[in-house]
Structure 1
Amino acid sequence: MRAWRALGWIAIIAVGLFLFQVLRTVVISVIVGVFITALLLPPARWLGRLGLSRALATLAVFVGGLLVGGAFIALLVPPTVASVSELNASLGKAVAELNNLATRFGVDGSAVVDQIGAYLSRQGQTIATGALTGVRTAGEILVGTVLAVILAVYFVHGGDRLFRWLVDLAPAAARRPLVESGELIFTVIGRYIRGVALVGLVDGFFIGLALWILGVPLALPLAVLTFVGSFLPVVGAFIAGLLAAVVAFVAKGWLVALIVVAVTVAVQQLEGHVLAPQIYGRALDLPGAVIIVAIAVGSLVAGVTGAFLAAPVTSVIVALLHRHVAASDEVPPPAPAGPRAGPPAKESPA
């Protein structure tokens, strides 16, 4: 029976992955909509406790979110353009320094640069094809984003009613486990999204402040990239720190680049050992190897979006497994059977 049950679960997972590939845009939009809901539902409930209706509270949080996003983009674009111009002016100096360094090790740096340029020119057709694919991907992202926002509006306004309606469709014996599982999933997602956003905000602030003090171009965009990279645990922090070090090297040289690396490592250590455990708690404490494997699988299944969704989905799965194990441990074992009563023993004659 266990073997057949295992085969059944394998078949269910295979069918689920197939349906995910077919309906990938819709499924990802639903998941992203749930994540946005987990982020915006607490302020909407707070406004509801102040006396606003559901419609007004939902309108207020989404209009506020759009205003904050628009102001953020307006604040980010001008310094990014100015910093890119400054970075282009420093690029030639950095290339010359790399050529000198390569020459010291007996490597012809100019030949390496020429080979890289020739390779890029040969890949022109591939790049053009990739651009067409990127246009298609951008269209899918746009459609998925609009659908996710619309679903998030509906979830914030009446998600509890929709959830009760879905639960009522299930058999009566399965309703209570479904309600408990749904509450657990939403709690884990909410804690993850709010925790990652807070940790990323702290990381981006301190790393961006260090870049600004050191006079590194693109300090604000790199701080934003650090914040976004926090949603890609382990891998995102490494990529953001590496890019910050490269920009610091191009603009300011080796010494400033090493200082940036040291600051990034210090902030990441502070996050990993002090800040993150206090915010996430033990329920979301996943080993680094598990996170890396989950991100790799998510990227293979759904690209960049799957990589970003891999960690929270894995956290939800682990939380459900913990709940299942805990529920199994609470079930009392069956009472052992007592000695079977037999016929009364005959008394031996005296």
Structure 2
Amino acid sequence: MSGCGGRSTGFPQESPGRIWSRWRALHFPRDLLISLPLALGFIGLRKVFERSIAVPLSRLLGVKDKVRLSASPAPSLEAFYTKHSRQPAPNELSSLMKQSGLTQKQVEIWFHHRRNQDRPSHTKKFCEASWRFVFYLISFTGGLTSLISTPWFWEQKECWRGYPQQRVENVHYWYYMLELGFYWSLLLCVSVDIKRKDFKEQIIHHIATIFLLGFSYCANYIRIGTLVMLVHDSSDFLLESAKMFNYAGWKKTCDSLFVVFAVVFLVTRLVVFPSKIIYTTLISSMEVFQPFVGYYFFNSLLLVLQFLHIFWAWLILRMIYKFLFLGKVCHSSGDENVGKRARMLVA
């Protein structure tokens, strides 16, 4: 196992299982700590990006926010809305009518207006999508540039040649740390970001990605880890760009980008990922070493991601059905279901 710049562990004759049992004693895992200040840096950079670039760009592309009526002051209804439910059940309306002194119709209208107040604006959605688009595009471009000349990019069995004594180039170290820092920033911002319909799946994806990146770095699964990141980043920027044009009202451009995204996603996540990535970690790796605890842990995380890929693929195929038979993709509110970056992470 080696660290940034090719540091050696000094365990030339030990099996991966024994190295795994001793990794806590190494300085190597401490390299991961830099991802935390990087995450904070990403959060700060995102704020600057949204204010100075994303908002002006949204205006340039024609993003328009809907004018929504505000709910009139009603302390009893506001208390119910914030503490109990955003939409009262029929048997709760009579009690709310007595507390507020309003008719049933007025109570229903109040809750409708109040829910509309909490809906994020198109500008906010555009800013979030544009930030993720910029990162994923840069990450994919940089990752592809750094990997295309490596032997394991073309032949995945090369991921295990010489394992665990493998040199880690600086460019791949920073590829890891920046990606890990970005996913930490996404996880730290879940409470303030737009809550989408696939919120739970996104949280699972972010956590699985962070564990996968952290563990693979410590176990020196870095070669296969870089391929995992590249596969995930290859489609994420396409999805975010489709969302950006959707919020701007460029429906034809959005539809075209979504079709391209769907093809890339289905090929990379349902074909390349299981046949190239999971196959080499499950099968090819055993030609080099016997399974140990890290082998099972790493592959379990990959399978979690694959299940999420299948879930998102189902959502995408459902939207393709709408596109082919109903003639619309981005016109449908269902586009919010298609979450990724994962990105890896998302992966």
TM over 0.5: no
Which structure is higher in RCO with an 8 Å CA cutoff and minimum separation 6?
Answer: 2
Could you tell me the TM-score, scaled by structure 2's length?
Answer: 0.29
Decide which structure has the larger Cα Rg and report it.
1
Instruction: Provide the TM-score with structure 1 as the length reference.
Output: 0.28
